[in-house]
Amino acid sequence: MKFGKKLQDTVETANKDWRPYFIDYKGLKKLISSTLVEHKSKELNCLNGEQVFPSSGEQPCLSENRDKTRAYQATETEQETTLFVTLKRKNKSDEESKSIKKLKVAIRSCLISFFTALKQELDKVNDFYLDKEEELIISHHMLKAYVAEYVSLITKYHLRFDSAKESDKFFCFILLNIVCELTTILFFVEQLG
């Protein structure tokens, strides 16, 4: 089973109040795929001779100078052609590095937007977890106080247990069961924390 499906199943079975606090895996995945689509379209534009960022006034991509180089090579001598090919390789690599730099800028901005969204999602989950942990700590302290109170009540009634009425014995038995249950819960809570 894929992680996204497993997470979706977990969210669906979780408490309804907790559902908004799960990480938006699907939204983050859409952000990544939209980034990839945008990156691929910019890469194709670059290979077709269009600018990576059409609105900017920067250099176009590789294919714009191809026709000029063919005409130039056809009219020059062999020695000059060798020199030109060397210069052409240098110019081509400069143009490629400019294109790569443009793509890196585009990818970097997409990565920044993704990691910003990811950080927001993680902060949302972490804040929720910390709130629930604080609630659990408060409940733990209250539970300890209740156990101490019930133990004192049982001790008080136990001293008079032999001379107590039948209804008081039943009340003492109920209190004893409650204390046992609370002590068990308290034990497990302390094991978790």
Q: What are the DSSP calls for 15-71, one per residue?
A: -TTTGGGS--HHHHHHHHHHHHHHHHHHHHHHHTT--SSTTS-----GGGGHHHHHH
Mean pLDDT across 160-165 = 59
Placement of tokens 């972490």 in the chain: 126
- What HEC string does 152-167 produce? HHHHHHHHCCCCCCHH
Exposure string over 34-62, b if 16+ CB within 10 A, otherwise e: ebeeeeeebeebbeeeebbeeeeeeebbb
The percent of residues in the chain predicted with pLDDT above 70, rounded, is 60
Residue 179: Cβ within 10 Å count: 19
Mean pLDDT across 3-16 = 88
Q: What is the pTM of this model?
A: 0.53
User: In this predicted model, what pLDDT tens digit does every residue of 27-39 receive, in sequence order?
Assistant: 998 888 887 777 6
State how far the Cα of 173 lies from the Cα of 154, in Å rounded to an integer: 9
User: In this predicted model, what pLDDT tens digit does every residue of 58-79 receive, in sequence order?
Assistant: 433 333 333 443 444 444 444 4
